[in-house]
Amino acid sequence: MLNEIYKDVCTSIIMKNSMGFVNNPCVNTANRFIEDYFESHSKGILFNKCLAEPNSMYSKSIHTVSAFLLGMKFKKICKTQIEKQIKENAQIESQLFEYPWLLACLYHDVFSDYENNHDEKFPKSLHDFISGESINHTIYSFDLPDEITLKDFKPIYKKESVEEYYVHMIKSSDKEEIHVDHGIISGYYAFDRLTENFIENWKQKHQLDEFTTEKDNHTLVWNKNQIWIFAFVADAIIAHNIWHTDDMKTVSKELWPNPNNKEEVKLSISKTPLAYFLSLIDTIEPYKFFERKQKATPQEVFTGLSIEMHLNQIVITKDNSFEFDFKTWYDAKMKNMSDWLLNTSALLETESKIIIFLPENT
């Protein structure tokens, strides 16, 4: 069923437009999907302000919806582990997968316009970004009302390591194509905006502590433990694009793999399930790559590719109608997947088939 929904949302509603990405009706449909889904969980108020801001997720909404639906389709990979962490740390019992997954998809690419930047209009450090975007709350430093706490939250990486990595990626880039890790700044942005908006509106909601469900409405009343979910989501966004390569030993001991145990810094289903899942789905989501690199339309991408799961493998195939460079996608996005995802690898089996090998018992 999700396969049909995936193709419907990302294809049939998008066709017959030659005016380019901005005017493509798919953008409007994807935007409506995001708004309707979010509003159906009575959290539209958390989201609307962010949509109105200059670096909104609207321009990335096709990739956002595509990634979200792929995640829903393959949620069994990490659903149990994600829900376990939320139950144990936020004491919330409902919407344990869909809600944080939607937030992660919505915010993970907010600042992707800075990626491979060709000019100087990007923050040179996280301090510049925090000042420029008026960030008041991060997962490392926050100012919450006395009634709201963020206890026992341990980020995947230390603040200093993230800051050093962000600057390192800029300084080590080719001068003609600066690499800005948009995942890091998107994660900072997500936590601040969600937290700030939550606090503002929570004060007006009689400080109710629990989720409640009203018949035929499924209204989620404000729960102050959501702050932990916001941190969980932001942390995953910050971590999902961080690669661990040999040159990291000159930057951060935390981010450089111990030669005797290179597995310890990789994202894993057991320890960092949301970050692992976001990184995996963001890697295999096809539209963003083929639209940016090869100017493919949504119709060409979503009708020409098939992405299915068989046991502990994700199998991606293309049909004869798909005229874009399949191997370039594999080389750029999936070939070295094992460097950052634990017990996960990719194989270009044929010129029209890619296999992602997931951890056993997935």
Q: Report yes or no on 94 lying in a domain.
A: yes
Contact 55, 113 (CB under 8 A): yes
Position 172 in a domain: yes
Cβ atoms 304, 208 nearer than 8 A? no
pLDDT in tens, 136-190: 999 998 888 777 777 778 999 989 889 988 988 888 776 666 678 889 999 999 9
Pairing of strands 313-318, 353-357: antiparallel
User: What domain range includes position 26?
Assistant: 2-302
The answer to whether residue 92 scores a pLDDT higher than 80 is: no
Per residue in 269-310, pLDDT tens? 999 999 999 999 999 999 889 988 888 887 788 888 999 999
What whole-number percentage of the chain has pLDDT above 90?
33
User: Does residue 190 lie within any of the structural domains?
Assistant: yes
Residue 241 has pLDDT above 80, yes or no: yes
User: Reduced to 3 states, what is the DSSP secondary structure of residue 49?
Assistant: helix
Residue at 24: amino acid letter? N
Which residues does residue 17 pair with via DSSP β-bridges, in sequence order? none
Would residue 211 count as lying in a domain?
Answer: yes
Whether the per-residue pLDDT at 228 is higher than 70: the answer is yes
Does 63 map to a domain? Answer: yes
Q: Residue 294: CB partners within 8 Å, gap ≥ 6? A: 324, 325, 328
* Residue-by-residue DSSP string for 107-154: HTTTTGGGTTB-SS-S-SSHHHHHHHTT----SSS----TT----S--
Helix (H) or strand (E) holding 233: helix 226-239
The Cα-based distances of 263 to 81, 249, 314 in angstroms read: 19, 15, 22
* Any domain includes 137: yes
Read off the DSSP letter of residue 359. Answer: P
Q: Is residue 41 part of a domain?
A: yes
Contacts of 244 (CB under 8 A, 6+ apart): 255, 256, 257, 262, 265, 266, 339, 340
Average confidence (pLDDT) over 13-36: 48
Task: State the Cα–Cα distance between residues 290 and 242, nearest whole angstrom.
Answer: 22
User: Is residue 176 domain-resident?
Assistant: yes
**How many residues make up the chain in this entry?**
362
Q: What percent of the chain has pLDDT over 70?
A: 68
The 10s digit of each residue's pLDDT in 173-187 is: 766 666 788 899 999
Number of structural domains (the chain) is: 1
Confidence at residue 112, expressed as pLDDT on a 0 to 100 scale: 78
In the prediction, which pLDDT does 268 show?
Answer: 95
Q: How far is CA 56 from CA 12, 64, 82, 238, 276, in A?
A: 25, 12, 26, 17, 24
